[in-house]
């Protein structure tokens, strides 16, 4: 059975690359990883110059048209299921979705169905498109907002490089108990796993370097705060851990809840106001992995967070002691 291929990624050789070998130009101009390069070499129609099969040592001439052809793939281990999808952007290289809260991104042990991946695989099958599900990053199941899925290995590699270089702008909206120490600032505190619970993270001296930037969007009279946050690093549960660390745990976050807030007047007033952590991935800005064009994509606040905003606005004014920075962490005044 002959392999089927995706539309090629095309590069026109510039004068500066005249006489150079194909492998060097692909590395320097397209950032092809060694792993992908090996795969392209081993694919019958993976590398072509001016429509003819080419080898890595091929010497290029200015004006040559280089084509990379990747075989079409499918995620045969993921069950296709009709799940509503909110598609924010799509082309032949990537898919960006606005994920609802309560939907995990990828099947895991005990969760083989009902995930974003199941819905995307079904969507592609209905379109007659053959792609493997490749999420570039993930969101917690109960966090809503933007998720990028690459449609082929080159797009995934290029977006992963941007992620690793901190070249992808990620902006979140969170609603917290209490006030941060300043209206605008950063939390620079290492995050690691707790020995007694491998799923739970905490600020630990030997944790991985972790940086979160925050800015107050609205300080509610009741003592809650709406924060806009940007990630300087991408650790698991980073925002939830960092906000809890500075005394401002996310509203609705049972996993990182602070008993002091749960037993407060504000905590009692908000009991049941939202069924998950109040966190939304609202913006992603990055360069298209193939064309290089800048993309800036947004996702509006979902209904449960809009309802929470209304609730916070309506609650009566409550005295609040904001958290302030101290050596080794934060405390209250």
| Those residues with Cβ within 8 angstroms of residue 168's Cβ, 6 or more apart along the chain or in another chain | 159, 162, 284, 285, 286
Catalytic-role residue among 140, 142, 253, 304: 140
d(CA 50, CA 65): 5
Residue 246 DSSP SS3: coil
Find the helix packing angle between 34-42 and 22-30, rounded to 10°: 130
Residue 7 DSSP SS3: coil
Looking up tokens 């966190």 gives 279
d(CA 310, CA 306): 6
The dihedrals phi and psi of 309, each to the nearest 5 degrees, come to -55, -45
d(CA 86, CA 145): 10
Q: Between the CA atoms of 245, 248, 252 and 253, what dihedral angle is there, to the nearest 10 degrees?
A: -10
Dig out the tokens for 88 from the structure. Answer: 């924010």
Question: Is 140 annotated in the active site?
Answer: yes
Dig out the tokens for 201 from the structure. Answer: 């993270």
- Helical H segments across 97-148, by residue range: 116-127
Active site residues: 140
């Amino acid at each position: 059975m002959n392999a089927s291929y995706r539309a090629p990624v095309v590069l026109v050789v510039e004068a500066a690359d005249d006489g150079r070998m194909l492998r060097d130009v692909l590395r320097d101009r397209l950032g092809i990883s060694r792993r992908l390069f090996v795969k392209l070499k081993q694919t019958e129609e993976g590398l072509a110059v001016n429509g003819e099969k080419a080898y890595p040592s091929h010497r290029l001439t200015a004006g040559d048209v280089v084509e990379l052809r990747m075989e079409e793939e499918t995620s045969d281990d993921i069950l296709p299921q009709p799940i509503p999808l909110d598609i924010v952007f799509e082309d032949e290289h990537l898919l960006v979705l606005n994920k609802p809260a309560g939907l995990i991104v990828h099947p895991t042990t005990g969760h083989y169905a009902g995930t974003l991946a199941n819905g995307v695989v079904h969507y592609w099958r209905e379109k007659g498109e053959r792609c493997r599900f490749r999420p570039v990053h993930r969101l917690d199941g109960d966090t809503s907002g933007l998720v990028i899925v690459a449609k082929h290995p080159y797009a995934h590699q290029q977006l992963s490089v941007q992620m690793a270089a901190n070249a992808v702008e990620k902006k979140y909206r969170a609603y917290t108990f209490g006030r941060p120490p300043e209206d605008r600032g950063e939390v620079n505190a290492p995050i690691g796993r707790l020995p007694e619970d491998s799923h739970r993270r905490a600020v630990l001296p030997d944790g991985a370097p972790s940086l979160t930037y925050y800015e107050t969007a609205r300080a509610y009279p009741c003592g809650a705060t709406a924060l806009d946050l940007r990630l300087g690093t991408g650790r698991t549960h980073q925002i939830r851990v960092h906000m809890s660390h500075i005394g401002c745990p996310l509203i609705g976050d049972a996993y990182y809840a602070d008993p002091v807030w749960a037993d407060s007047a504000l905590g009692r007033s908000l009991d049941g106001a939202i069924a998950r952590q109040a966190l939304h991935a609202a913006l992603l800005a990055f360069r298209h992995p193939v064309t290089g064009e800048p993309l800036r994509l947004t996702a509006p606040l979902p209904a449960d967070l809009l309802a929470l905003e209304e609730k916070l606005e309506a609650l009566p004014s409550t005295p609040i002691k904001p958290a302030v920075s101290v050596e080794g962490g934060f405390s209250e005044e």
